[in-house]
Chains A and B, each alone.
Chain A
């Protein structure tokens, strides 16, 4: 597009403004270099040798340049600057990677400073003297299942490997890890499966940050996760955590048995002895007070994006079944119950549809995998009581005991 210079045709506002400034007006003051400081005088700004004859607005100055000797020195100046920055960043990142306080790299040189129930249960498994005969898998809804009850009823040692928000990927990594830890043992599995276990959900950071478990994720998954967490290494905050790890590790055996996570306490067999539910109960916040919040949560889940079973969750589920079968076990899969009020609320919102999807899915797997299936969705199926819930999802020990007893009754040989 062509243009025509309009200067001759326009109203001479520039000249008007200049004349205003020449009369000692406010415009002049607004334009005057700032302060008594003679360096502020714009005419003293060092000239830019290579610059165009610029036309800056009054008062604006162009950036000063590196002054001084020839191009060689300037080149080494820039390169040295880069080198210094890179060395500092590299040194901090290397230290962080070595200490790996969040378990993001997987070097495992020192115990992590951030514990989750996943890393804690791994730690407990590492301290088991003999392989568990029965392993409980599942989410937080299964964490009140007592391994000691199973042991007393079956005569074999049991371990509760359920973790909060446990999904099939967690089951896969725990089964793999337990097999690696006790390669010659033959454990049996009691898998408490939630309908929500097949909801699309990102892999829990607690799993990714537990190197012993993350090792069983696919290389691509692990790599993309590691890459995603790489920026954490380039950080002073991580550096302080690394120093903290080093300080803590001094004079302390590398992987001491850990049974507490904040105020939550675990038994060496993985049972969650004391948790926030118990604390709420002690403060008088029983089922009646906790139920509405979890009902809202359930409504959000089923009104949200849970419209079909997640194929990734299905893949991990089948992979876990295949592994268990290859190790000689046919697991008992128990569909977990909900508090009846909760169930009645979410059933029409999508729970019923997903429940049917899960049943159909499990049915479709029966030809390929060996497993025992028990549907304890409704309390009546195992003699549970509506009052023995902490909230809409989580059973108290009274109900989990009824559930375990029902499992042993309905699948008598499965856990022995």
Chain B
């Protein structure tokens, strides 16, 4: 079930909100939320459910095992949880990738029979709920978090439908207390905020991302014909499409959460306003960024071992973050590019003392450079193969020559150019949905209501959210 669907907006969500606010006891409400989340998830394919239940049970068990244990038994508990969680990810998400990579390698080396191709069902949202679930176990191990109060609360946390499919990757420390003591009373303030976020998300997804999608798809499909300008437009188009798609989803998730009185963490903070690659990761997919920082980068030693060890840790962290997104070499390359960017930034940045704010012109320059680096990095993320990545990146540096006026108008067109121009202005100048402070005024209500209505009228043919594939 997509957020941007009639079934969700006019049947599922109203039914869940009614149940949530009308049930008298908090334990009933949490049980209702867990059940509704399973219905929501099973709507995609009921066969996904057993794995979700298995991951939930495993982490709940290990959280309590670790909580009750001391010394080596705690470490054993953590290892057990990681084996189950990462094993599930490995089997369901990466088996095919590794087998095909091994077969490719075997072919190069002239090996005999290849491994048979396995067609394993990839449960939607697996990367997100496994990361959420395992973070609780690690936090319990680190002493940052008590084990969840009950299986019911933990099950509701892992499966919570607003964030189950594509995040935000909330931690139990953020959502657990809210589930253990849910808001007792519905407030108009929360409803207003929820609707604001829902409207923002719908506009971003349905009016911008879905409108850009066919143009971007067409440009990447014609990757062999791209010249310098059209290649940059293709990459810029995807840069915008992905941002509005994913931040739109995140806004909708936050909005749905708020309608239930649950506060989800922020996932985007105007990432294209970043003045450095490091700042970009504090603004883009923030919950993943902080997850890999806390559970991967710091676990590898962080920046404690000097510059080169920091570079090594960054490369490992970002390459694994790339692989987390998808089981393909293009994602590995994307992660490695970001590892290289961040490493480069680490090596050149001034160490130690805090600098004051940059001069406006310097910050503008830095923003421009960072934005270009970001656009380049999105190419392997979008391209279906390394060959296409190579072609598009090659075209961007002029290997395919300059577009003729005719091919530019055919491939790009004025409509796409105008949309990208408007999107560029928007992402650079407009406040994001978290920065707007709503006053309960009639004109705002009218404007938001009309935007929401206009978005609903776009629902008929929505495209799936891009991050659902991860």
Interface set of A (CB-CB < 8 Å, partner B)? 1, 3-14, 17, 20, 24-27, 29-37, 39-40, 46, 48, 50-52, 54-69, 71, 73-78, 80-89, 92, 231-232, 234-239
Assess whether A56 is in contact with B439, with CB atoms less than 8 Å apart: no
What A residues does B144 contact at CB under 8 A?
A: 13-14
Answer whether residue B444 sits at the interface, using C-beta atoms and an 8 A cutoff.
yes
Measured CA separation A81–B61 after assembly (Å): 45
What A residues does B141 contact at CB under 8 A?
A: 10
Q: Given A69-B440, A85-B449, A55–B177 Cβ distance below 8 Å?
A: yes
Nearest chain B residue, comparing its CB with the CB of A46: B437
Instruction: State which of A20, A37, A69, A237 has its C-beta within 8 Å of the C-beta of B298.
Output: A20
Additional A-B contacts beyond A3-B147, A63-B263 (10; CB < 8 A): A3-B68, A6-B146, A24-B352, A29-B278, A30-B297, A50-B187, A57-B287, A76-B442, A81-B445, A235-B460
Measured CA separation A387–B196 after assembly (Å): 68
Instruction: State which of B6, B275, B302 has its C-beta within 8 Å of the C-beta of A25.
Output: B302
Q: Which of B196, B270, B297, B346 has the most CB of A within 10 A?
A: B196
Answer whether residue B215 sits at the interface, using C-beta atoms and an 8 A cutoff.
no
Instruction: State which of B258, B279, B353, B446 has its C-beta within 8 Å of the C-beta of A63.
Output: B258
CB distance from A121 to the nearest CB of B (A): 29
What B residues does A231 contact at CB under 8 A?
A: 6, 459-460
Mask of B444-463 contacts with A, CB within 8 angstroms, 1/0: 11101110111011111100
Task: Please provide the chain B residues from 118 to 156 with a CB less than 8 Å away from any CB of chain A in the complex.
Answer: 140-144, 146-151
Measured CA separation A11–B66 after assembly (Å): 12
Of the candidate stretches B84-92, B98-106, B288-296, B327-335, the one touching chain A is: B288-296
Q: Given A52-B177, A63-B254, A87–B453 Cβ distance below 8 Å?
A: yes
Assess whether A56 is in contact with B173, with CB atoms less than 8 Å apart: yes
What B residues does A86 contact at CB under 8 A?
A: 449, 453
Assess whether B294 is in contact with A17, with CB atoms less than 8 Å apart: yes
Q: Given A20-B304, A36-B358, A78-B192, A64–B434 Cβ distance below 8 Å?
A: yes
What B residues does A236 contact at CB under 8 A?
A: 454, 457-458
Assess whether A35 is in contact with B298, with CB atoms less than 8 Å apart: no
A sample of 24 inter-chain contacts (CB < 8 A) reads: A5-B146, A6-B67, A7-B146, A9-B143, A20-B298, A26-B314, A30-B290, A31-B282, A34-B282, A36-B357, A40-B269, A54-B263, A57-B287, A60-B266, A64-B434, A65-B193, A66-B440, A77-B440, A77-B441, A78-B188, A78-B191, A81-B446, A84-B453, A231-B459
Assess whether B67 is in contact with A89, with CB atoms less than 8 Å apart: no
Q: Which 5 A-B pairs have the closest CB atoms?
A: A84-B449, A10-B143, A88-B453, A74-B188, A77-B440
Nearest chain B residue, comparing its CB with the CB of A230: B6
Answer whether residue B113 sits at the interface, using C-beta atoms and an 8 A cutoff.
no
Measured CA separation A88–B442 after assembly (Å): 16
Assess whether B459 is in contact with A237, with CB atoms less than 8 Å apart: no
Answer whether residue B310 sits at the interface, using C-beta atoms and an 8 A cutoff.
yes
Assess whether B304 is in contact with A71, with CB atoms less than 8 Å apart: no
What B residues does A32 contact at CB under 8 A?
A: 282
Instruction: State which of B66, B190, B286, B452 has its C-beta within 8 Å of the C-beta of A6.
Output: B66
Nearest chain A residue, comparing its CB with the CB of B454: A88
CB distance from B250 to the nearest CB of A (A): 11
What B residues does A35 contact at CB under 8 A?
A: 270, 273-275, 279, 283
CB distance from B448 to the nearest CB of A (A): 5
Measured CA separation A263–B10 after assembly (Å): 41
Measured CA separation A34–B258 after assembly (Å): 24
Assess whether A59 is in contact with B151, with CB atoms less than 8 Å apart: no
Instruction: State which of B67, B286, B438, B459 has its C-beta within 8 Å of the C-beta of A59.
Output: B286
Q: Given A6-B143, A62-B263, A237-B460, A67–B438 Cβ distance below 8 Å?
A: yes
Measured CA separation A27–B66 after assembly (Å): 27
Nearest chain B residue, comparing its CB with the CB of A12: B143
CB distance from B283 to the nearest CB of A (A): 5
CB distance from A141 to the nearest CB of B (A): 34
Assess whether A75 is in contact with B181, with CB atoms less than 8 Å apart: no
Q: Given A10-B143, A50-B187, A54-B177, A80–B434 Cβ distance below 8 Å?
A: no
CB distance from A44 to the nearest CB of B (A): 11
What A residues does B181 contact at CB under 8 A?
A: 52
Answer whether residue B204 sits at the interface, using C-beta atoms and an 8 A cutoff.
no
Assess whether B191 is in contact with A26, with CB atoms less than 8 Å apart: no
Assess whether A60 is in contact with B174, with CB atoms less than 8 Å apart: yes
Answer whether residue B325 sits at the interface, using C-beta atoms and an 8 A cutoff.
no
Measured CA separation A82–B436 after assembly (Å): 20
Answer whether residue B391 sits at the interface, using C-beta atoms and an 8 A cutoff.
no
CB distance from B336 to the nearest CB of A (A): 18
CB distance from B60 to the nearest CB of A (A): 8
Assess whether A4 is in contact with B453, with CB atoms less than 8 Å apart: no
Instruction: State which of B171, B187, B363, B448 has its C-beta within 8 Å of the C-beta of A36.
Output: B363
Mask of B342-368 contacts with A, CB within 8 angstroms, 1/0: 000010000111100110000100000
Nearest chain B residue, comparing its CB with the CB of A28: B303
Nearest chain B residue, comparing its CB with the CB of A55: B173
CB distance from A125 to the nearest CB of B (A): 32
What A residues does B193 contact at CB under 8 A?
A: 63-66
CB distance from A77 to the nearest CB of B (A): 4
Measured CA separation A85–B450 after assembly (Å): 5
Answer whether residue B264 sits at the interface, using C-beta atoms and an 8 A cutoff.
yes
CB distance from B346 to the nearest CB of A (A): 6
Answer whether residue B163 sits at the interface, using C-beta atoms and an 8 A cutoff.
no
Q: Given A57-B171, A80-B446, A85-B453, A68–B440 Cβ distance below 8 Å?
A: yes
CB distance from B133 to the nearest CB of A (A): 15
Measured CA separation A1–B65 after assembly (Å): 11
Assess whether A48 is in contact with B263, with CB atoms less than 8 Å apart: yes
Measured CA separation A17–B142 after assembly (Å): 11
Assess whether B146 is in contact with A60, with CB atoms less than 8 Å apart: no
Answer whether residue B70 sits at the interface, using C-beta atoms and an 8 A cutoff.
yes
Assess whether B147 is in contact with A82, with CB atoms less than 8 Å apart: no
Assess whether A26 is in contact with B310, with CB atoms less than 8 Å apart: yes
What A residues does B351 contact at CB under 8 A?
A: 24
Nearest chain B residue, comparing its CB with the CB of A91: B453
Answer whether residue B218 sits at the interface, using C-beta atoms and an 8 A cutoff.
no
Measured CA separation A57–B169 after assembly (Å): 11
Measured CA separation A223–B91 after assembly (Å): 46
Assess whether B453 is in contact with A27, with CB atoms less than 8 Å apart: no
Assess whether B195 is in contact with A78, with CB atoms less than 8 Å apart: yes
Instruction: State which of A11, A12, A27, A237 has its C-beta within 8 Å of the C-beta of B461.
Output: A237
Q: Which of A27, A35, A81, A231 has the most CB of B within 10 A?
A: A81
Assess whether A66 is in contact with B278, with CB atoms less than 8 Å apart: no
Answer whether residue B189 sits at the interface, using C-beta atoms and an 8 A cutoff.
yes
CB distance from B150 to the nearest CB of A (A): 6
CB distance from B459 to the nearest CB of A (A): 7
Answer whether residue B183 sits at the interface, using C-beta atoms and an 8 A cutoff.
yes
Instruction: State which of B70, B151, B281, B282 has its C-beta within 8 Å of the C-beta of A33.
Output: B282
Nearest chain A residue, comparing its CB with the CB of B141: A10
Assess whether B457 is in contact with A234, with CB atoms less than 8 Å apart: yes
Answer whether residue B64 sits at the interface, using C-beta atoms and an 8 A cutoff.
yes
Assess whether A61 is in contact with B445, with CB atoms less than 8 Å apart: no
Assess whether A1 is in contact with B151, with CB atoms less than 8 Å apart: yes
CB distance from A243 to the nearest CB of B (A): 14
Measured CA separation A8–B174 after assembly (Å): 21
Assess whether A4 is in contact with B283, with CB atoms less than 8 Å apart: no
Q: Given A14-B142, A85-B452, A27–B265 Cβ distance below 8 Å?
A: no
Assess whether A25 is in contact with B303, with CB atoms less than 8 Å apart: yes
What A residues does B437 contact at CB under 8 A?
A: 46, 64, 67
What B residues does A85 contact at CB under 8 A?
A: 449-450, 452-453, 456
Answer whether residue B27 sits at the interface, using C-beta atoms and an 8 A cutoff.
no
What B residues does A12 contact at CB under 8 A?
A: 143
Q: Which of B64, B68, B150, B440 has the most CB of A within 10 A?
A: B440
What B residues does A87 contact at CB under 8 A?
A: 449, 453
Instruction: State which of B149, B174, B293, B442 has its C-beta within 8 Å of the C-beta of A80.
Output: B442
Q: Given A9-B74, A11-B143, A36-B363, A81–B434 Cβ distance below 8 Å?
A: no
CB distance from B158 to the nearest CB of A (A): 16
